Amino acid sequence: MKIIHTLPAIRRSGGITLLQNNLFNLTCNIRHQIWANKIPENIHFHNADILLTRHSSVFNFYKILERLKKENRNNTIIHIHGRNGFFVLIAAKIMKIKIIYQAHGYYYKLSRGKVFSFFQNFVDSCLLKYSDFVLFTADGEKEFALKNYNLNPNYKVIYNRTNPPLKKSFSTIISKDNPIIYCLATSNIHQKGLDRQLSLIKKLKFLNNKFKLIHYFNIENQLELNYLRNKIRTLGLSKHYFFKKASKNVWDEIHSAGGIILSTSRYEGRNLVIQEAFHNMVPVVATDCLGQKELLKENHAFILKENKIDEWANTLNEALSNQELISKKVQKANNWILQFGDMKIYSNELFDCYKHVLTM
């Protein structure tokens, strides 16, 4: 079996982390190839060849066809990650190669309040309708797509997962004299709601002036990094808001210093950072947006309600000070997340989908 993964760009993100784990787990009798539209970062993928294909450009459509002509249609699957693979979908249909679409693109319906363009809607509809199989990583994703496009494709919801840490014992005590807030959003200012996060931190200063926020960011993304730094200076947050390079050892650093995780996202898949925080028994403060809401229910976290933005600062301040409530939430969240298992279970479910699609 050969799986061709099409990606918009190779850069640090939750989706890339998920793919890296799957490639590590899915090695038996599977060959993987990655087609990247852009490669701005040098990231290692186990058991996979990486090609710079620039497949989102119509001018490269003929090259895509030529590549697919060389594939064995009986044992090859195209796994499209996001709407960047639209022209790959067309080429695969011509060559009669099976397609799995891991849905992402339709979130643009929520972006910046702009009218959703006809072309964007057309692309999303085609990907959902004409792919042989559609994968969703969260119930919210599925419900949003089926409702907005009035389609009922062959699909499966496979909850993305994270691996429990090796360490079994954690301290969830938050320092009253020097509380720390962590943000692990490495890019995507609008989706991750980083503009809203800055506004929230400014309001928090009036309630609690002792805290600091440490933002683990992809410092190679200079455009967004410079924008955020300028906003921090403008809002007078330079003594509270600090950037650090995104690190593989981030959870060890968080455990060492203590603190809480903050997510002000406008929309997500099934958020990996929040799941990792649950596994690591780190308190979470997050918006109840599409893709995160189902993780936060049943008192698992401090919830920033989308329809009550004026209350966010009070909610965040409580998360920094109410130790009894913190302890209850992290224990409940940890007990809940353990029922879903680890990344190997996700990969096994994905492998079953691959086998099913080949026999369709």
User: Which long-range CB contacts under 8 A does 24-32 form with residues at least 24 apart?
Assistant: 25/343, 25/344, 25/347, 25/348, 26/347, 26/350, 26/351, 29/1, 30/1, 30/2, 30/3, 30/351, 30/354, 31/1, 31/2, 31/3, 32/2, 32/3, 32/5
Q: What six digits make up the tokens of 73? A: 């249609």
Distances (CA, A) of 105 to 7, 27, 81, 108, 295: 12, 28, 9, 6, 21
DSSP string, 217-270: E-TT-HHHHHHHHHHHHHTT-TTTEEEEE--TTHHHHHHHH--EEEE--SB-SS
Confidence at 170, pLDDT banded by 50, 70, 90: low
Amino acid at 254: I
Q: Which H or E run includes 279?
A: helix 272-280
In sequence order, the 6+-apart residues with CB closer than 8 A to the CB of 47 are 23, 24, 26, 27, 30, 32
Nearest to 2 by CA among 29, 37, 35, 36: 29
Residue 16 has pLDDT above 90, yes or no: no
Residue 230's pLDDT is 96
Task: Give per-residue pLDDT as tens, 218-260.
Answer: 888 899 999 999 999 999 999 999 999 988 888 988 888 889 9
Backbone angles phi, psi at 156, to 5 degrees: -150, 140
* Residue found under tokens 């494709």: 153
Residue 315 pLDDT > 70, yes or no?
Answer: yes
Res 41: pLDDT: 86
What pLDDT does 96 receive? 96
Displacement of CA 262 from its chain's centroid (Å): 15
Using a CB cutoff of 8 Å and minimum separation of 24, what contacts does 325-328 make? 326/172, 326/174, 326/260, 326/283, 327/172, 328/299
User: What is the rounded distance in angstroms from the CA atom of residue 116 to the CA atom of residue 48?
Assistant: 36
Check whether 28 has a pLDDT greater than 60: yes
Quickly state the pLDDT bin for 319 (edges 50, 70, 90). Answer: very high
Residue-wise pLDDT tens digits, 131-169: 999 999 888 888 888 888 888 889 999 998 988 887 766
CA distance linking residue 288 with residue 186, whole number of Å: 20
Give the pLDDT confidence of 63-117 residue by residue, as tens digits: 999 999 999 999 999 999 988 899 999 999 999 999 999 976 556 555 554 555 6
Kindly state the average pLDDT of the residues 330-343: 92
The DSSP letter of residue 59 is: G
pLDDT average, residue stretch 267-293: 91
DSSP conformational letter for 153? -
96 within 8 A of 73, measured Cβ to Cβ: yes
Task: Give the burial class of 79: count Cβ atoms within 10 A of its Cβ; 0-12 exposed, 13-18 middle, 19 or more buried.
Answer: buried
Choose which CATH entry (3.40.630.40, 3.30.70.1730, 3.50.50.60, 3.40.50.2000) describes domain 180-340.
3.40.50.2000
- pLDDT tier for residue 290 given thresholds of 50, 70 and 90: confident
213 three-state secondary structure = strand
Which phi and psi (to 5°) does residue 43 adopt? -120, 135
CATH 3.40.50.2000 boundaries in the chain: 2-161+341-358, 180-340
- Looking at every residue in the chain, the average pLDDT score rounds to 89
Q: Please give the helix or strand (H or E) that residue 81 lies within, else none.
A: strand 76-81
Q: Residue 138 has what pLDDT?
A: 85
Q: What is the average pLDDT across 281-302?
A: 90
Q: What is each CA distance from 251 to 99, 107, 167, 248, 259, in whole angstroms?
A: 36, 29, 11, 8, 11
> In whole angstroms, what is the distance from residue 181 CA to residue 174 CA?
10
Residue 30's pLDDT is 92
What local confidence, expressed as pLDDT, does residue 109 receive?
A: 58
Does residue 242 contact residue 212 with C-beta atoms inside 8 Å?
yes
- Which class in CATH covers the domain with range 2-161+341-358? alpha beta
Q: Does position 325 have pLDDT exceeding 60, yes or no? A: yes
pLDDT at 173: 67
- Structural element, H or E, at residue 215: strand 212-217
Distance, CA of 81 to CA of 119 (rounded, Å): 18
